[in-house]
Amino acid sequence: MDDTLLTRALAKDRLATSRLLTLIARGEAIAEIDEAMAHAPRPAVIGLTGNGGVGKSTLVGKLIQPYRERGRRVAVLACDPESPLTGGALLGDRVRMPGSATDEGVFVRSLAVASGHQAVADHIGLMARVLGNYGIDRILLETVGAGQGDTAIRQIADVLVLLVQPEAGDDLQWEKAGLMEVADIVVVHKGDLPGAQRVEAQLKDLAKISMHAPEVVRASAAKGEGLETLIDSIERQLAVARDPA
Amino acid sequence: MALEIPLRVVLAKVGLDGHDRGIKVVARGLRDAGFQVIYAGLWQSIEDVVRTVADEDADYLGISILSGAHMTLAPRIMEALREAQLGHVGVILGGIIPVEDIPKLKEIGIERVFGPGTPIDEIVEFLKQQGSRTHG
């Protein structure tokens, strides 16, 4: 590693910060970076998960600006799968996160996740501290599109948001064990589509009779609806997660 | 087959040019050759592209231009990258580029121009030979 890299990163240099993320993603110099970032503030990590096509990237893209308006500095870590055959990856989430090219308070990074791993890249905690050092205080961590059993993100995220959409199965689907049990917030996404209100009602009913009752929010990234409600909900859950009384 | 260090390549289209068939073919070809391809999509401003290259810590930037505006856009992209201290990033160009423009594009620092019909392997081999720009 270039000797000046850590110094520059600690001085909040954007390119050095970006390079450290590359090293961490490659699993290089982990101990060294970990030591250098030992006193860096840790941003709140908000995990967003749900099946492929449910609208994670689009929703994340739409949360950036409202968060900026609340004075938060936001990073996105967008995970996409790596080919098990070639190790190659097509990281396309940025396409759905339209530009804030001149805003220093937004940092978007795409990460490839090796096959056979869970739904997020390794060393996310260390990446979070490197971004925290840069001044980021909210990280939107998007999974590759987790299935029902992929619950490793629970250990990484301070708040876990699960996206579901209308017409994704009958109400028994929600009874299955897995992600629904570990989510703090369930977003009925594509909330402008027919059936969304019914799904919202089913999930709210279910929450009433469950030991673990996530907040249920209906939102539509396409229509820009429910975004502020969702952020309120995330911030409420963060307060609980950080100060469990 | 996997690359020892996966090269990160940002692919983008700049300006008012909606023809993305070619760049998507290249994206897929590089992915299948083991590259990490960050696809930034259509209608990017030069500022968007520079920010993407910076935050993604790309080794290469591939720009596709089919609008005929390459002699205006390419120099501005190269200038913006240098200003952002991203002069180390290799830049390649694809699209409809008249042969007589290629020497001028190389003069301003475009490393290669790949025209229509280029086999993907040719792009893959070129990038592999050049190697990482971010890793010493």
DSSP single-letter state for residue B55: H
Among A13-22, A140-149, B2-11, B127-136, which range has the highest average pLDDT?
A13-22
- Structure tokens of A25? 């993603």
CA dist., res. A212 & res. A209, Å (int): 9
Residue with the larger pLDDT of the pair B13 and A102: B13
Q: What is the mean pLDDT of residues A102-124?
A: 85
From residue A123, give the alpha-carbon distance in Å to each of A29, A113, A196, B69, B118.
12, 11, 36, 42, 39
Contacts of B23 in chain A (CB under 8 A): none
Query: Does the pLDDT value for residue A237 go beyond 80?
Result: yes
The whole-chain average pLDDT of chain B stands at 92
State the pLDDT at residue B94.
95
Give the one of A18, A86, A95 whose C-beta lies nearest to B34's C-beta: A86
Q: How far is B85 from chain A (nearest CA, A)?
A: 9
What is the ipTM metric for this complex? 0.91
How many Cα atoms within 13 Å fall on the side-chain side of residue A11? 8
In the chain, the amino acid numbered A242 is R
What is the four-CA torsion angle of A71, A75, A78, A79, rounded to 10 degrees?
Answer: -130
State the pLDDT at residue B1.
41
**A35-74 confidence digits (pLDDT tens):** 999 999 999 999 999 888 899 999 999 999 999 999 999 9
**A201-215 confidence digits (pLDDT tens):** 988 888 888 777 899
Range in B16-25, B64-73, B85-94 with the lowest mean pLDDT? B16-25
Inspect the interface and report whether the beta carbons of B51 and A112 lie closer than 8 Å.
no
- The share of chain A scoring above pLDDT 90, in percent, equals 61
CA dist., res. B134 & res. B136, Å (int): 7
Q: How far is A76 from chain B (nearest CA, A)?
A: 11
Q: What is the mean pLDDT of residues A107-111?
A: 94
State the pLDDT at residue B6.
84
Residue with the larger pLDDT of the pair A144 and A171: A144
Output phi, psi for B7, to 5 deg: -70, 140
Residues 6+ apart with CB under 8 A from B127: B7, B9, B30, B35, B60, B90, B92
Contacts of B52 in chain A (CB under 8 A): 94, 108
Q: Does B77 touch chain A (CB under 8 A)?
A: no
**A80-98 confidence digits (pLDDT tens):** 888 878 888 888 888 878 7
With beta carbons less than 8 A apart as the criterion, state whether A60 and A78 touch. Answer: yes
Question: E strands, chain B, where?
Answer: 8-14, 36-44, 60-65, 90-95, 112-114
**A161-183 confidence digits (pLDDT tens):** 999 998 776 666 666 656 677 88
- Taken in order A173, A177, A181, A182, the sign of the CA dihedral is negative
With beta carbons less than 8 A apart as the criterion, state whether A241 and A158 touch. Answer: yes
In a 3-state reduction of DSSP, which class is residue A190?
coil
Query: Does the pLDDT value for residue B69 go beyond 80?
Result: yes
Residue window 84-103, chain B: list those with CB within 8 Å of chain A: 85-86
Q: Does B23 touch chain A (CB under 8 A)?
A: no
In the chain, the amino acid numbered B46 is I
State the pLDDT at residue A154.
84
Nearest to A158 by CA among A129, A126, A184, A121: A184
Strand partners, A177: none
CA dist., res. B56 & res. A21, Å (int): 9
- The share of chain A scoring above pLDDT 70, in percent, equals 91
Query: Does the pLDDT value for residue B39 go beyond 50?
Result: yes
* C-alpha Rg value of chain B to the nearest Å: 14
Q: Which residue of A has its CA nearest to B54?
A: A15
Q: Does B60 touch chain A (CB under 8 A)?
A: no
State the pLDDT at residue A64.
95
- Could you count the other beta carbons within 10 Å of the beta carbon of residue A15? 18
Give the one of A19, A82, A99 whose C-beta lies nearest to B134's C-beta: A19
Q: What is the mean pLDDT of residues A187-210?
A: 89
